Structure 1
Amino acid sequence: MRVIAGSARRLQLKTLEGIETRPTTDRIKETLFNMLSPYVYDCVFLDLFAGSGGIGIEALSRGAMEAVFVEKNPRAMQCVKDNLSHTHLERKGMTMTMDVMTALYKLEGEKKFDYIFMDPPYGQELERRVLTYLSGSELLAPEGVIIVETAKDTDFAYAEELGFTIIKNKVYKTNKHVFLEPTGRKGIC
């Protein structure tokens, strides 16, 4: 796994051995950031279920002002910290070694995010729990977008009742990115 573009371009990133995390492949990460590239510069980025931090680090490398990384696994968070140091982006990254829901409560009222990205473990409906929280939260900036990386068959039929509209659905071989925004707002994707 490597940084695709920006100030840390081509630098290799550490990942955890084994199946505890599923790092986003370089190809999928490149596709995602090709869609986001006009909007990432100077944004504030939240990387939930961060794993080794590859997505948030890519955002920082491409000019994001700040990224917050949330990961409860201490070994994975050590990878995030090592990767931030290796890419010389540690000053722009904030790490939170805790459960995602606890982190969201702690961040409430402290920050607003232009992008909230999450890649939760598949099949546990954790994305639904996070979206339910975010539906009543002030964490998403007025023009902000939520991006969920999830299994290809994950159903988001409930999104509308939570007050979100799916503005883009990018499907890959085994997974997909779902882009959501609060209903009634014109998105940037």
Structure 2
Amino acid sequence: MKDNALHVSIGGGKYRGKKLKLPSLSTTRSTKSILKESLFNTLQFDLCDAVFVEAFGGSGSIGIEAVSHGAKHAYFFEKDTAAFRVLEENCASVDKTSFTCKRGNTFELLPALIASLATPAYLYFDPPFSFREGMNEVYQACFDLTQNLPAKSIRMVIFEHMYPLEMPQILGDFTLHKTKAFGKSALSYYM
């Protein structure tokens, strides 16, 4: 029987080539390969033994790739039930001990996780762009959340966002380091 599910592959590291399922395109969108490659070229050896947090988990492809590139653990938040099932399945198919999936609202759950971490984390925001109903204010909510996070608990905050969305220069204790565009998407790094 043919598998009609959508897939994405891990592009590098110890899990290179491993296929991950994608949730429905009506609830999530996959990160472009070129954008993902640029992200991990930028982070390179900095991820060694780091903690990585993917604020909007989707398939988990970014956090799983972070562990593939040397992060010791990745945490994911996902609100959508169907996407959460795919996220858990993907994590279990790769390595059951290196991932923690949390179902629920990122804005409610993330601060407690960040406060509980013993190691400063890399925090990755890939909010659902404004194609979903009720997502018009998602960027401002992410900015507000970031401004209230303790800098001592975060190594870097990375936003995947629509281009040419103008990103704030300062978010609380974090300053925009650089932005790199990839067609209609971009990555912005805060330190």
Task: Please indicate the TM-score interval, normalised by the length of the shorter structure.
Answer: 0.7 to 0.9
The CA RMSD measured in Å over matched residues stands at 1.8
1:63-78 correspondence to structure 2 within 5 Å: 63-78=70-85
CA separation of 1:140 and 1:97: change in aligned 2, threshold 3 A: farther
Equivalent position to 1:155, from 166, 182, 185: 166
Task: Using the TM superposition, give the Cα deviation of residue 77 of structure 1 relative to its aligned residue in structure 2, in angstroms.
Answer: 1.2
- Taking the aligned partners of 2:139 and 2:73, their CA distance within structure 1 comes to 23
For structure 1, which runs of at least 5 residues remain unmatched after alignment? 182-189
Contact 2:16–2:68 (8 Å) recurs in 1: yes
What residue in structure 1 maps to residue 107 of structure 2? 101
Equivalent position to 1:40, from 35, 39, 47: 47
Amino acid at match of 1:80: L
- Alignment: residue pair count: 178
Q: What TM-score, normalized to structure 2?
A: 0.85
2:153 counterpart of 1:146: no
1:21-60 correspondence to structure 2 within 5 Å: 21-60=28-67
Q: What TM-score, normalized to structure 1?
A: 0.86
Identity of aligned residues (%): 26
Deviations 1:119-143 (A, max 9, x none): 001242323322322322237636x
- Taking the aligned partners of 1:54 and 1:140, their CA distance within structure 2 comes to 26
What residue in structure 1 maps to residue 133 of structure 2? none
What residue in structure 2 maps to residue 184 of structure 1? none
- Taking the aligned partners of 2:62 and 2:139, their CA distance within structure 1 comes to 17
Amino acid at match of 1:92: S
For structure 2, which runs of at least 5 residues remain unmatched after alignment? 1-7, 131-135
